[in-house]
Amino acid sequence: MATFTNPIANIRAFNRFYTDIIGLLDRHLLHSRYSLAEARIIYEISVGENLQASQIMTAMHIDKSYLSRLLKKLEKEGLIIKKPSEQDARAMFISLTAKGLREFNILNKASDEQISAMTTGLKASDQQQLVNHMNAIMNILTKTAII
């Protein structure tokens, strides 16, 4: 178990552990054909309904040009559609196509199954403790505006 003598080293060790255990560094997330960034964009669009690119940039803290390239790829694959706003033709709303929604559902189910597989062997009290600690991490980092 790590000690608190070097918080930076401990946090980085945890980050390496967690990204490895859930496969975030795999080329394709959850054995899909999508990268982490692509899957997250699909997620953001699915929960946001008719988002603008600027809203995705804010939610993901992603570079505008990188997001633009990924959106073009997802649009070319028929997963998203861009529609001009009725109030302002310069504003483009992004939504999932039927194909995009199917892909989201596949990714979402695979993600749920992955986490379920990791936690199934844990006692209910350990699962709750894990969730409590994760919530504590998010709360602490949110207070310090790191996220």
Is the model's pLDDT at 44 over the cut of 90? yes
Domain boundaries, the chain: 1-32, 34-101
| DSSP for residue 94 | E
| 25/22 Cα distance (integer angstroms) | 9
Task: Give the CA angle between residues 51, 57, 59 to the nearest 5°.
Answer: 80
Is the model's pLDDT at 147 over the cut of 60? no
Is the model's pLDDT at 38 over the cut of 60? yes
Residue 4's pLDDT band (cuts 50, 70, 90): low
Lowest mean pLDDT of 26-35, 79-88, 101-110, 116-125, name the range. Answer: 26-35
Pick the CATH number of 34-101 from 1.10.10.10, 1.10.4080.10, 3.30.70.260, 3.20.20.70: 1.10.10.10
pTM of the predicted model as reported, rounded to 2 decimal places: 0.85
User: Do 49 and 83 form a contact (C-beta atoms < 8 A)?
Assistant: no
pLDDT for 3: 60
Mean pLDDT of 49-78: 95
User: How many C-beta neighbours within 10 Å does residue 45 have?
Assistant: 25
Note the pLDDT tens digit of each residue in 67-113. 999 999 999 999 999 999 888 878 899 999 999 999 999 999 999 99
Residue 146's pLDDT band (cuts 50, 70, 90): low
User: Do 20 and 118 form a contact (C-beta atoms < 8 A)?
Assistant: no
pLDDT for 145: 60
